[in-house]
Amino acid sequence: MKRIEYFYAAYSGYAYIGSSLLQEIAVKAGATIVHRPFFLGDLVRARGNAGRVREETYSAYWFGREIERWAEYRGVRIIKRRPTYHHESYEMANRMLIASGETGQGTDRLAHAFLEAHWAEDADLSKRETLLAIAASVGMDGADLFETAGAEEVAAQHRANTEEAIARGFFGSPTYVVDGDPFYGQDRLELVVRALEKPFANDWVLPS
């Protein structure tokens, strides 16, 4: 079966904008989404982009005009600003996704629900009660997932996903990988469709 490795953070605005389309693409192509939630801050620092991301003008454009245009283009509900709790921890949301399973419709639904709650409902993904309510909204046992997410093996997988994203030279969230070929950003989803149908020629080598 075809696979789409999906590297993302549970609070990522651009992962949210592409979330529904990604799932539609997977269904149409008969592909499985393989969830790889990771800690975006570590990747940003590893790429040396932390200063740029914090720069006010860049941030205002990237999380303002640009995200609004793409939301309109994709037909996605979104608040007209960066979410109030965007700087709060989303680690347990990531870890609940890991606990829910690497693949499966439940994980697909939960991932979208976390992203939508944060970017369309201004939800605080650092709050246990919020995470449990979101899980319940997609028919999952939030309390059980939250407890499992606290296990060291889940924390270790979260670290491993992050380390893998860094080692593979990724730039941010979302990154989709088809047959080892990475596509960074939801604006590359049309290219993901093509890659699932026919791989792109690939003579590119990641600089060391």
pLDDT, averaged per 10 consecutive residues of the chain (208 residues), comes to 96 97 98 98 82 65 88 94 94 98 97 98 98 98 97 98 96 96 97 96 69
Give the pLDDT confidence score for residue 14 in this predicted structure. Answer: 97
How far apart (Å, rounded) are the C-alpha atoms in residues 69 and 1? Answer: 34
Give the predicted TM-score (pTM) of the model: 0.93
Give the pLDDT confidence score for residue 114 in this predicted structure. Answer: 98
Amino acid at the residue 33: I
Give the pLDDT confidence score for residue 49 in this predicted structure. Answer: 63
Which residues are paired to 134 by β-bridges? none
**Domain 2-197 maps to which CATH number in 2.40.50.840, 3.40.30.10, 3.40.640.10, 3.10.105.10?**
3.40.30.10
Give the pLDDT confidence score for residue 203 in this predicted structure. Answer: 73
How far apart (Å, rounded) are the C-alpha atoms in residues 89 and 107? Answer: 20
Q: Which two tokens stand for residue 67?
A: 């995200």
Give the pLDDT confidence score for residue 55 in this predicted structure. Answer: 65
Domain ranges of the chain: 2-197
How far apart (Å, rounded) are the C-alpha atoms in residues 169 and 55? Answer: 23
How far apart (Å, rounded) are the C-alpha atoms in residues 119 and 107? Answer: 18
Q: What letter does residue 150 receive in the DSSP assignment?
A: T
Q: In what order do the strands lie in the sheet with 31-37?
A: 31-37, 2-8, 175-178, 181-184
How far apart (Å, rounded) are the C-alpha atoms in residues 118 and 185? Answer: 18
Backbone angles phi, psi at 163, to 5 degrees: -65, -35
Contacts of 92 (CB under 8 A, 6+ apart): 125, 126, 128, 131, 146, 149, 150
Give the pLDDT confidence score for residue 129 in this predicted structure. Answer: 98
Dihedral angle sign, alpha carbons of residues 35, 37, 40, 46: negative
Backbone angles phi, psi at 35, to 5 degrees: -80, 130
